[in-house]
Structure 1
């Protein structure tokens, strides 16, 4: 199952480690440090300020889609599996 995260990018749901909203990510020094260490793997999908951060095994995505919307999409896909 795949989740659309913005700008015609779909990623496998099982590859997602974490989805963070922008406010909690900006208020956490650990997240800021993690992103600064992975700077070469950050993919900015947002033309305006990003709303969420999606962490996968390979990349860190800055998405224009809110974390709540991404969660709803992942839950809908789980329902459609059955």
Structure 2
């Protein structure tokens, strides 16, 4: 199953570690102090409402932080009962 997180970006649910409201992200995450080996991908120029943290394709050593214009509540609805596939927490 794939989750559409905005723009033309779809992510395999198996790659998703966590989906959080961008307002609760610690500034150190953006500074690279909390998570090493990650890339930030801004999906659109619209305001960022959620952050989808996922393993980068083909690697469990590198992460991608997708900044999405879609709220955590909307992403949760899109997943429906597939939340059990998530390996991390889902904060709405």
TM-score, normalising length: structure 1: 0.76
Q: Give 1:1-80 correspondences, 5 Å limit.
A: 1-25=1-25, 28=26, 32-37=27-32, 41-58=39-56, 59-75=64-80, 78=82
Cα RMSD after superposing both structures: 1.9
Q: Larger relative CO (CA 8 A, sep 6+): 1 or 2?
A: 2
Aligned-pair distance for 1:75? Answer: 1.4
TM-score, normalising length: structure 2: 0.69
- Structure 2, unaligned stretches of length 5 or more? 57-63, 83-92
Q: Which has the higher helix share?
A: 1
Ranges of 4+ aligned residues in structure 1 off by more than 6 Å: none
Q: Secondary structure at the match of 2:18?
A: strand
